[in-house]
Structure 1
Amino acid sequence: MVEIIEEGTQLVIRIGEQEFARYNFGSNLWKPYLYPVRAANGLSLVADAPVDHRHHHGFWVGHSRVNGHDFWQERHNSGRIVHRNFEKVVSGGELGSFTEKCDWISPTGDVVLTDTRTFAFHDTPPDARLFDFEIVLRAPNNAPVSLEPTNEAGIPYVRLADGLTVKSGGTLVNASGQRNEKGTYGQRSPWIDASGRIGRLQCGIALFDHPDNPAYPTPWFTRDYGPVSPNFGLFQEEPIVIAPRRPLRLRYRVYAHSGDVEAGRVAAVFEEFLQSLRQVESSDQPMESPVGRSE
Structure 2
Amino acid sequence: MKAKILFGALVLSAAFMGCGQPQPGQTQSGQTDRFSFVEHPESSRIDVLLDGQPYTSYCYADSLKKPVLYPLRTKGGHFITRGWPAQPRANERTDHPHHIGLWFNYGDVNGLDFWNNSPAIPAEKRMGYGSIHHAAANSMEADGNTGRLHVTKYWQGPQGDGLLKEDTRYVFQVDDGGNTSIELDIKLTALRDVSLKDNKEGVLGIRLARELEHPSNEPAKFTDANGIVTEVAQTNNQVVTGHYISSEGAEGDDVWGTRAKWVTLNGTLEGEDLSLVILDHAGNPGYPTYWHARGYGLFAANPLGQQALSDGKDVLNFKLDKDASTRFRYKILIHAGSKLDAAAINNQLVEFSGQP
Q: TM-score, normalised by structure 1?
A: 0.85
The offset of 1:82, in angstroms, is: 0.6
- 1:134 CA drift (Å): 1.2
Deviation at 1:18, TM superposition (A): 3.2
**In structure 2, what is the equivalent of residue 224 of structure 1?**
295
Do the aligned partners of 2:285 and 2:304 also contact (CA within 8 Å) in 1?
A: no
Equivalence for 2:321 = 243
Secondary structure (helix, strand or coil) at the match of 1:42 reads coil
Q: How far apart, in 1, do the equivalents of 2:252 and 2:134 lie?
A: 34
1:174–1:193 CA contact under 8 A, matched in 2: yes
Change (3 A) 1:20 1:136: same
Q: For residues 201-239 of structure 1, give each alpha carbon's deviation from its aligned partner in whole angstroms, at most 9, with x where no partner exists.
A: 221311001121123222211111111222121113241
1:17, distance to aligned residue in structure 2 (A) = 3.0
Find the residue that maps to 1:233 and give its secondary structure.
coil
Structure 1 position 125, deviation (Å)? 4.3
| 1:134 paired residue number | 185
Q: Which amino acid aligns with 2:241?
A: G
Alpha-carbon distance in structure 1 between the residues aligned to 2:341 and 2:181: 13
Whether the 8 Å contact between 1:131 and 1:255 is mirrored in structure 2 is yes
Distance 1:133 1:223 in 2: 22
Task: Tell me the distance in 2 between the aligned counterparts of 1:80 and 1:225.
Answer: 25
Kindly indicate whether the alpha-carbon contact (under 8 Å) linking 2:155 and 2:165 is maintained by their aligned counterparts in 1.
yes
Distance change in 2, residues 1:112/1:272 (3 Å): closer
Residue 197 (structure 2) aligns with: 148
Distance in 2 (alpha carbons) for counterparts of 1:28 and 1:83: 11
Structure 2: distance between partners of 1:127 and 1:180:
28
Structure 1 letter corresponding to 2:328: L
Structure 1 position 92, deviation (Å): 5.0
What is the percent sequence identity of the aligned residues?
Answer: 26
Give the counterpart of 2:252 among 180, 186, 190.
180
The answer for the alignment partner of 2:38 in structure 1 is 5
Q: Which residue of 2 aligns with 1:292?
A: none
Please report how far the alpha carbon of residue 199 of structure 1 lies from its aligned counterpart in structure 2 after TM superposition: 2.1
TM superposition outliers: structure 1 runs of 4+ over 6 Å:
none
CA contact (8 A) 1:121 1:130 kept: yes
Q: Structure 1 residues 24 and 131, CA, compared in 2 at 3 Å: closer, same or farther?
A: same
The Cα offsets for residues 75-119 of structure 1, whole Å up to 9 and x where unpaired, read as 231222110111221135332111111111211221122211110
Q: 1:132 to 1:266 in 2, by over 3 A?
A: farther
User: What secondary structure sits across from 1:275 in the alignment?
Assistant: helix
Partner of 1:124: 175
Change (3 A) 1:71 1:221: same
Pairwise CA RMSD: 2.1
Structure 1 residues 21 and 265: alpha-carbon distance in aligned structure 2, compared to 1, 3 A threshold: farther
Residue matched to 2:66: 31
1:165 aligns with 2:233: no
State how many pairs are aligned. Answer: 273
- 245 and 67 in structure 1: CA distance in 2 versus 1, 3 angstrom threshold: same
The alpha carbon displacement at 1:46 in A equals 1.5
8 Å contact 1:115–1:137 — kept in the other structure? yes
SS of 1:268's equivalent?
A: helix
- Looking at structure 2, the residues matched to 126 and 166 of structure 1 have their Cα atoms a distance apart, in angstroms, of 28
Structure 1, unaligned runs of 5 or more: 280-295
Secondary structure at 2:290 match in 1:
coil
Normalising by structure 2, we get a TM-score of 0.71
> Relative to 1, partners in 2 of residues 1:24 and 1:126: Cα closer, same or farther, differing over 3 Å?
farther
| Distance (Å, rounded) in 1 between the aligned partners of 2:294 and 2:176 | 30
